[in-house]
Amino acid sequence: MENSSGIILYGPSGCGKTLLIETIASENNIYLISLNVAEIFSKFVDESAEKLRTVFEEAKLNAPSIIHILHIGKIAPKFDQAYSAFQRLIISQLISLIDNLSPESKVVIIGEDISYEDINQLLYSPGRLDIKINVDKPNESDRLEIFKIYLKNMPLDDDIILDELANKTEGFSGGNIMTICREAAKNAIKRHYPEILQNKQTLTENELNVIKINSDDFSKAFSDIGV
């Protein structure tokens, strides 16, 4: 990436683009800043421009770092869409900040969207976000790794076989797998402490320590979600 300032990750919703970025940052001790449309767009142009400048300065101060821009096509849409004066200023500001990054800054920009064709072409011209990576639905090996990530801090019963879960979830997105894991965890809690959940009470550490997620919890999660 010596001559590039960043990457565009594109692919269907729920396929693990955000999880991929978060995992890369976490496992490599990289400072991560995530931005969405609402955080950038203010009703005042000056505030939006200042927000972008502040984010880039924060990234430089905490380098190595990643600036993750979600739904970047909504911030900087492709040329054939009508731009307001506000959007033109934001696009210009974003491009200027990207162009002023040097390799020594150790800041990488990762834009995320469903399709790179929805993004302003100036953003992925040479030297900017010119590395485009398609993130599609995960294969079985990928699904196994996603299960490991989501379940690494969850107590599992001995009857849980992750390879079987990965095999069973063909066609699932990363988002589907995340939902399955969360629902299985909720089912385990309900099984142990139904009265606590009904009363919306907080579990103590000792109460949490006796909970283990088993295969029945996952079976119910698959059935309830219907994916």
pTM as predicted? 0.74
Give the pLDDT confidence of 59-113 residue by residue, as tens digits. 999 999 999 999 998 888 887 655 677 778 888 999 999 999 998 999 999 999 9
Handedness of CA 47, 52, 53, 57 (dihedral sign): positive
Backbone angles phi, psi at 49, to 5 degrees: -65, -40
By the 8 A CB rule, do 133 and 20 touch?
Answer: no
Give the pLDDT confidence of 132-144 residue by residue, as tens digits. 999 988 899 999 9
Handedness of CA 182, 183, 186, 191 (dihedral sign): negative
Backbone angles phi, psi at 65, to 5 degrees: -145, 160
Q: Is the pLDDT of residue 6 over 70?
A: yes
Q: What confidence score (pLDDT) does residue 57 get?
A: 96
Distance of CA 52 to the CA centre of its chain: 20
Q: Domains of the chain by range and CATH?
A: 6-134 (3.40.50.300), 140-225 (1.10.8.60)
By the 8 A CB rule, do 65 and 32 touch?
Answer: yes
